[in-house]
Structures are given as structure tokens and as C-alpha cells.
Structure 1
Amino acid sequence: MNIFRFENPDALYLLALIPVLAFINLYLAKRRKKALEEFGNAELLNDLMPNVSFRRPVIKFYFMLFAFVLLILTIAGPQYGSKLQTVKRKGIELIVALDVSNSMMAQDIEPNRLDRAKRAISRLVDKLHNDRVGFIVFAGEAHVQLPITTDYASAKMFLNSINTDIVGKQGTAIGAAIDKGIKSFTTQEDVNRAIIVITDGENHEDDPIAAASAAAENGIKIYTVGMGLPKGAPIPVVGGRSNDFMKDRDGNVVISKLDEQTLQKIAITGNGAYIPANNIRNGINSLVDELSELEKSELEAKVYTDYNDHFQYFAALALLLIIIEFLILERKNKRLKHINIFDVKKEETSKDL
């Protein structure tokens, strides 16, 4: 089984220019058409400009646009991994448990608790070296989103797909997330392990302190990251208007507050530390430093060590499109402009009748 990747994935951001260029071309085409309509009658202008084509510039533009897309893909460097090897590295095993309950959409920290948490996890993954990492998402129940791995590119891809709809049952079961994390580590012995729980701490389902105690008994450290502020904020209704917020049975707006005390107790019980969201950047850096001080164990991982380049196919197709665009004239060909296969068919049809 081969794996596909881009050697320079940052180049793919240039694809954002494609809809912009298409919009600009459409806008300019409409302006040209409007200017001609103001200049005179369209049928009369066609008689005065028999060799002018309005379709050919559009066709030429889209040929160049597709060629530009292919050139961007060429620069990004598409590759297929063809050689899978088992390598040994020294690191730890880390599970990140992320709260995806509706309360994580509260906007007491910008842009909201969940997006800020995902950014923090992304920075954490960027700072890992040779460590195994896995993701658990939880609300009223917990699920493994990413089995423990050393593939950080896949980890970021899975991270981007996380939202509040990924877990069907609402609530906040921190204990279930910790229990699932304990079971999600590999069976390899003599490996230092840690679970990072990122949540607003409003636990309604189980006993997270007991779960943290069980983790500590298994030599697993528990770190908690508190998302939100103690004063709290209303929870936006997904898909609603900007001022639509969740309400209780009595019609009162629900205010979701950060429960720092619970998160601090979980961290203390789990021999870890608590990180407040208002200092999350420095907190993540401190957490990485603390994790790096844990004794590293030899971990085995299967990785692709040899990649074959396939950019030449994209480059060749881009060149072909550029040549075709060059050969298409903006004006009609004087010798071929009278040929119309539709008129021929029309004549044949009339004869048959």
C-alpha cells in the first residue's frame, strides 16, 4: 500500500487564488458586455465586427486557469511513498482528549472555546518529536478519533475534521474520556504516558476524579487545560442567528462557566498540572517542556522512507494546456468562420421532411 503526500504542502494555499481570478474575469467580461451594449445594438455590432469572438477569450482564460492549478500542484510536489520500514525512536505516548460538547462553542475566548483548543493542539503536535499521539473526542460519551500514531500529518488532518457533531450524545463525560484514554495506549511496557484533557470542566456524567486516580495507578499523568472563563458565556445555537443562544426549559439563556476547581482536582489526582485558557500559549510551551523531561522509551513505528516524485505528470499536462491556449486565436478564423455543423444538420433535416 502506497501513501500519497505533497512535499511542499504550503504551496497549496495558492489554490485560494483560483476563485478570485475566476471572479475577476467574470466581472471584467460583464463590464465589457455592458460597455458594448451601451455603444450600440448587439446585432449591428456583430455585423460590424464579424471576426470578433466573445467565447474564445473565455475558453483561453479557463485553459490558462486550469494550467495554473496544475502548476501549483507541480510546485507542491506530489509524491507516493513506496518503501515502508520499521524504525525505532525514543519518545513517550500521549493521548489528547478534546471536549466537543455544545458548551465548547461559547465565545468567552475568541473565536470560541473549541477553535482555540484545536489551535492549541495543533501547536502541541508541531512541538512533538518521535512521540506517539492519539486523539479522543468526548461529550456525553467518548470515542477514539485517532488511534495512537507517529504520523503527525494525519493527526492534523483528523484534528481539522473535529466539530461538535462528531459525538451524538451531548453532555460532558470527562471520566469516560480518561477511561477511554487509558485503554487507547499501546501494550508496550516501560513507556511513559500522559493524557491531556481539554475541556470547560462542566462535568455532568461521571466521576472524573476516580478516573484520574485509576490513571495515576497505571503510571499515567493527567494534564487538564481549562477552556473558557469563570464568568462564563452563552452557548450559540448552531446554524442560528448571531444572537440565538441555547435556553433551558424555563426559557432562560444557558450560561456555560469554566469549572477550574474540578480541573485542578483532576490534574492533582493525576500527578499532572492544570493550564488555564487565558494563558494557553505559555501553558502549552510549559507542558511540552514538562513532557520532554519524561524519560523517553524506544518506540517502534512503520514509516515511509522512500518517496517517488510524480510532479512531472502535472507539469506535462499544464504545458499541454498552455500550448492549446496559445494556439486558440482570440479572433475567428476567416477561412473557417462560415463552417457551421449545426446549419448543415438543419439543412439535412429540412430535406428529409
Structure 2
Amino acid sequence: MSFQSPWLLAGLGLIPLLAVAYVLTERRRHRAAAAFASPRVAISAVPRSPGWRRHLPLGLAGLATAALIAALARPEVTVAVPAEQATIVLAMDHSGSMMATDVAPSRLAAAKEAGETFLDEVPERVRVGGVVFNHRAQAVSSPTTERDEVRRAMDAAMTPSGGTATGDALATSLEMIKAQKAPGAIVLLSDGQATHGRDPLPIAGEAQRLRIPIYTVALGTASGTLPNGDAVPPDVATLAQIAERSGGQAFTADQASQLSEVYEQLGSEVATKEEQREVTSAFAGGAAILLLLGGGLSLRWFRRLL
């Protein structure tokens, strides 16, 4: 929680002073009562003391005063709200290393299945675009709310072959989001080290400047191999650097079920944005309730207001 006018919170320092003044007043009242009549006479004149009930209404009034002072400082809280006008680009690697079968039935098949999960989890109003890449990047679907269009475009282009142009895929995705002139994010799924095109790290820095986070998913295991026996471990370190530099988050998935869980999480994360919401009315309303409660109890017990 934060406050638009935090200096007004200095007024809260009055609350302890008022409490001390109340305690001193009560002590003087007791001393005056003791001096006026002997204890035996006081007991017969006032057979039952109100006890804690005497202090409760004023205690509630003190809390109400504190809430009103906090309301004057205009409190704010950060909340996650749906980014209904957001654009998300799903960039999927279909280089030759995606033929590896360390993620059953294959990395590519698992990626396609998880992509379906992701599209199902993203709110309907959020536009989703598609980029596929091997040794070159290709924008296969402009951002749209039509999920079937994205699915068909991605499926048609996903044949494993060639190297990995991660930087070019990120650059293509950024241009796609910039053209929408709306909040955006990139979800990058890849399993190999960039071998073609631009260096992805400077592009991740540009994404951070544009406030477009990149969420990376490293697919595969360190022992992954192609049918011909070539080792194809995922480049977890570089993907993590891309995510960190852009302000996003990095994930790893060495099983198809894990990949689907990651995409479910991303579907909710990248489709929300944080906003500051002023909650002055809540504090003021709470203060009013406390005052009414204290006043009501005082009237009921003592036939007077506080």
C-alpha cells in the first residue's frame, strides 16, 4: 500500500497523545470520586461499574479518527486487472532440434499441444499473434482474437528443420506488438542456442525499454539427442538472460505436462496488468462505520453520544 499524500500521516501521531490524555483524565476522575465519598458509600451509590464498556465507544472513535487521517492521505493499492486490450505474441521454435524425443512424443508435438493450452487460457479479448522460427523468423498470424486462425497458421508452419534465429524471432514479435500500440508481451518457446540472425540479448533490452516483457520457456533435457545421435540440450542460460533483461520470467519444462502447466500460468500472468487503485473511500467508509458503532453503543449503554 502507498499514499498519494504521505505527509498527512503525521496526524496519526495525535492518536497516542489523545489516548494518554484520556487515561490521565480517567485517573483524575477516579481520584475526585474517591475524595468525594468513601469506598463503602460509592459501592452502595453505584452498585455496578460499566467496566470495559465505558472505554469501548471512545476506543472505536479513536480507530475511526486514525482511519479518517489515513483516508486524507489518499491510500492506494496495487491490483492486477485484466489487460483486455493487450497483445501477446507466441513465438515458437521449429528448428531441427525440435525433433528430439526427450519430451514425449517429441519436443515439437509437446510444444504444439501446450500452445493449444496457452490459447485456451488467454482471455478472449486479448489479441494473440503467432511467430514461428528456425534459421529465419516468420510472422504467421497477425494479432487477433480469433484463436482458430492462430492455431491453423501455427500448425501449417511447424515443420522441424534448420537452425535457430532467436533474435530475429524476438525482433519480429516486437514489431508486431508495436504496430498494435497497446500493452504487450512475448512468450518465447525454444530449445536451442541461437545459431542464425541477430543477437537476442540486445533485442531483450529493447523490449525492456518498451515495457514488453518476454517470458521464455526452455524445452528439453540436457541429455536430449536427435535421431542421428547429435546432442541438443536446451540453452537454458541464454533464455533466462533474455527473460531477465526484458523484465519477464524464465521457465524450464522437460516434460509435456510441465509445459502445459507453464502455459496455463502464463495465460493468466501476461493477460493482466498492475494498476494503482485509490481506496480512500474504503478508509472513509470504515471510519464512518466505526463512529456509528461507537455512538450506537454509547447511546444504548449510557444514553449519550461518546
TM range (shorter): 0.5 to 0.7
Alignment-derived partner of residue 176 in structure 1: 168
Distance 2:90 2:121 in 1: 14
Distance 2:269 2:153 in 1: 25
Would you say the 8 A contact 1:109–1:116 is kept in 2? Answer: yes
Alignment-derived partner of residue 283 in structure 1: 262
Matched residue type, 2:230: V
Distance 1:174 1:148 in 2: 20
Say whether residues 1:201 and 2:192 are aligned partners.
yes
Q: What displacement does 1:268 show?
A: 0.5
Would you say the 8 A contact 1:91–1:132 is kept in 2? Answer: yes
Q: Percent identity?
A: 30
1:123 corresponds, among 112, 117, 130, to: 117
Would you say the 8 A contact 1:230–1:260 is kept in 2? Answer: no
Q: What displacement does 1:162 show?
A: 3.0
TM-score, length-scaled by structure 2: 0.58
Say whether residues 1:264 and 2:236 are aligned partners.
no
Distance 2:84 2:267 in 1: 16
Q: What displacement does 1:164 show?
A: 2.3
Distance 2:145 2:274 in 1: 18
Gaps of 5+ in 2: 1-82, 276-306
* CA distance 1:176–1:272, shift in 2 (3 Å): same
TM superposition outliers: structure 1 runs of 4+ over 6 Å: none
Distance 2:235 2:179 in 1: 34
Matched residue type, 1:207: D
Q: What displacement does 1:154 show?
A: 1.2
- What number of residue pairs does the alignment pair up? 188
Q: What displacement does 1:107 show?
A: 0.5
Q: How does 1:317-328 map to 2 (within 5 A)?
A: none
Alignment-derived partner of residue 209 in structure 2: 217
Distance 1:116 1:188 in 2: 30
Q: What displacement does 1:281 show?
A: 2.5
Hey, which of these two has a bigger chunk of helix by percent?
Answer: 2
Matched residue type, 2:221: L
Q: How does 1:137-152 map to 2 (within 5 A)?
A: 137-152=132-147
- Superposed CA offset, 1:204-263 (max 9, x none): 123111111111111111011111112222x23xxxxxxxx2xxxxxxx31111111111
Distance 2:130 2:144 in 1: 10
Say whether residues 1:230 and 2:222 are aligned partners.
yes
Q: What displacement does 1:274 show?
A: 1.1
2:155 corresponds, among 136, 160, 170, to: 160
Distance 2:179 2:132 in 1: 21
Alignment-derived partner of residue 76 in structure 2: none
Range with bigger deviation, 277-286 or 218-227: 277-286
Q: How does 1:89-128 map to 2 (within 5 A)?
A: 90-128=84-122
- Which has the greater radius of gyration? 2
Distance 2:134 2:180 in 1: 29
Say whether residues 1:192 and 2:183 are aligned partners.
yes
- Superposed CA offset, 1:311-346 (max 9, x none): xxxxxxxxxxxxxxxxxxxxxxxxxxxxxxxxxxxx
Would you say the 8 A contact 2:88–2:270 is kept in 1? Answer: no
Matched residue type, 1:182: L
Alignment-derived partner of residue 294 in structure 1: 273
* CA distance 1:91–1:203, shift in 2 (3 Å): same
Would you say the 8 A contact 1:230–1:259 is kept in 2? Answer: no
Matched residue type, 2:184: R
Q: What displacement does 1:157 show?
A: 1.8
Would you say the 8 A contact 1:104–1:200 is kept in 2? Answer: yes
- Superposed CA offset, 1:54-82 (max 9, x none): xxxxxxxxxxxxxxxxxxxxxxxxxxxxx
Distance 1:147 1:171 in 2: 24
Gaps of 5+ in 1: 1-88, 237-244, 246-252, 297-353
Q: What displacement does 1:280 show?
A: 1.7
Matched residue type, 2:120: D
Q: What displacement does 1:186 show?
A: 5.3
TM-score, length-scaled by structure 1: 0.50
Distance 1:187 1:232 in 2: 38
Say whether residues 1:273 and 2:263 are aligned partners.
no
Find the residue that maps to 2:270 and give its secondary structure.
Answer: helix
